[in-house]
Structure 1
Amino acid sequence: MAESSKEELLELIKRLTLKISDLFSSSLNNLDTHSIGAVAGLAVAIFFTWRLLRSPSVSQRRQQKRQVASSSTPGVSAHSNAVVVPSGVCSTSEDSRAQNVVDEFFQPVKPSLGQIVRQRLSEGRKVTCRLLGVILEETSPEELQVKQATVKSSVLEVLLEITKFCDLYLMERVLDDESEKRVLAALEDAGIFTSGGLVKDKVLFCSTENGRSSFVRQLEPDWHVDSNPEIISQLARFIKYQLHVAPFRPERAAANVFCAPSLEHFFGSI
């Protein structure tokens, strides 16, 4: 096979590899059976093409060995050896490049954060989540009375991914109307309402911890996220899945309760 043809073939394999990688990373969950079969067939075709590309190089190396052996006989000059060796070196380089292309194609595709979120939530479609200590830096209602609320920067990306495919409700116990305004202002400044997945009507406020528990039971979500162990324990019988956010690993309340130091840690985003 001519060297220019090999170069063109290697370039074609690289382009196909990039296109297939883009396909997997952007729409892995949308592939049907026929699409997966087509991708698998293409992978096999690339592999055998590489084998065909590699075969002439093997023959060249064998021919080189015969030529080198014959050069030891009388009448063959040392100059002939100097001509043969670079050919073998070139073919080895081509083999290495082809192998790198094939290895690159078969590398596992890293799932996107959106795919991880959907997988971890087991395709749940409704999520309820408390604000203090999970979405907000503040951890008590008293803190909201004396200073502006602050959304955790590390949780923002995960929160926006959840709103893309889940019906999300945020809730918290507050002590006055001013605290409500501070919380809503912080969420708005963080851009949570502009993503299209969350509206202010889905941010709920109550005056007691039992009030938050009542909100969750009325909404009947697939998942509830909370940092209060008592609320987690109360809801374990009624909610399909729960995430208990705590800085240390607490004793698991039930089989359907998961634990993590933060919401973003649960989805592996940090």
Structure 2
Amino acid sequence: MTESSKEELLQLIKRFGAYLTVKMSSIFPISLHNLNARSIGAIAGFAVAIVFTWRLLRSPSGPQRRQPKRQAPASSSSGISSQSNATLTTSGVSSSEDTRAQNVVDEFFQPVKPTLGQIVRQKLSEGRKVTCRLLGVVLEESTPEELQKQVTVRYSVLEVLLEITKFCDLYLMERVLDDETEKKVLLALEDAGVFTSGGLVKEKVLFCSTENGRTSFVRQLEPDWHVDTNPDIIFQLSRFIKYQLHISPTRTERAASNVFNSPSLEQFFGCV
């Protein structure tokens, strides 16, 4: 390695270290005065390792050709011009090195986008049991009368449901007017693939004939979260259930501090 290359690498390490210090201090609010010599040495070694790796990855693959020697300038005016060009070149290299060092640090600290599973866990505060009504949340229909005519599964919510079943005990429930409608609902859920993951089984889809019946189901199961579209049921259960999610197309006032609002279940988890 030539002297100029060593000097260039040294300057890059210095700029990298300075920029890394600023970047680290913005992420970890720890004063450098509180770090001992061993911690500072570890950070410095970490910075040098990244820089050397980066330099190796970006080094030219082929051998460099030796540049021919240029003749000395013949006049004083050309010497002044050469000195001016050298100053501009040095300034340009310095600016370029600063940018390269900043790019290395920015790439290293680029945030990683969380997975849907991680978002679901975080949003549900690690809850282990969830109850959810079907109408208006999992199904397109909004009344039991509509279910007698047809049952339409909202496919946009299926991915969220399957993620919930991976680490939560999920129960789906709904009020129906007859046994025939109950069979239609189960068949539609089965055709949509709700039961294929193994996390949700038909026995965990509960049916009742009244809205109070759904309230009783929730009270008996004592979930960490309950999802519903009926504001009256949300209000009644707010004293007994740790968290609730009120699904409503229009923004409503929170019934209690433990009640959250969202236009849909998938929007609550950022899927739309």
2:188 aligned to which of 179, 183, 186: 186
* Structure-1 residue corresponding to 2:153: 151
Kindly provide the amino acid, as one letter, of the partner of residue 144 in structure 1: L
Kindly provide the amino acid, as one letter, of the partner of residue 171 in structure 2: Y
Kindly provide the amino acid, as one letter, of the partner of residue 200 in structure 1: K
* Structure-2 residue corresponding to 1:34: none
CA shift digits 1:94-128 (9 cap, x unpaired):
55334212111112222222111111111110000
Higher helix share: 1
Alpha carbons 1:244, 1:259 under 8 Å: kept: yes
> What stretches of structure 2 of length at least 5 have no aligned partner?
13-40, 55-72
Alpha carbons 1:47, 1:102 under 8 Å: kept: no
With structure 1 as the length reference, what TM-score do the two structures score?
0.69
CA, structure 1 residues 53+246, in 2 after alignment: closer, same or farther (shift >3 Å)? closer
* Structure-2 residue corresponding to 1:212: 214
* Structure-1 residue corresponding to 2:129: 126
CA distance in 2, matches of 1:72, 1:176: 104
CA distance in 2, matches of 1:248, 1:79: 71
CA distance in 2, matches of 1:220, 1:89: 67
Kindly provide the amino acid, as one letter, of the partner of residue 116 in structure 2: L
Give the CA deviation at 1:49.
Answer: 4.9
* Structure-2 residue corresponding to 1:261: 263
1:97 aligned to which of 77, 100, 106: 100
* Structure-2 residue corresponding to 1:222: 224
Alpha carbons 1:50, 1:98 under 8 Å: kept: no
- 1:259 counterpart SS class: strand
State the aligned residue count.
221
* Structure-2 residue corresponding to 1:240: 242
Alpha carbons 1:174, 1:207 under 8 Å: kept: yes
CA, structure 1 residues 122+88, in 2 after alignment: closer, same or farther (shift >3 Å)? same
> What stretches of structure 1 of length at least 5 have no aligned partner?
10-40, 55-70
| Identical-pair percentage | 69
CA distance in 1, matches of 2:44, 2:158: 41
2:171 aligned to which of 166, 169, 172: 169
CA shift digits 1:54-111 (9 cap, x unpaired):
9xxxxxxxxxxxxxxxx89839658966995778756754553342121111122222
CA shift digits 1:103-156 (9 cap, x unpaired):
111122222221111111111100000000001111111111112x22212212
Task: Compare CA radii of gyration and give the structure with the larger one.
Answer: 2
- 1:171 counterpart SS class: strand
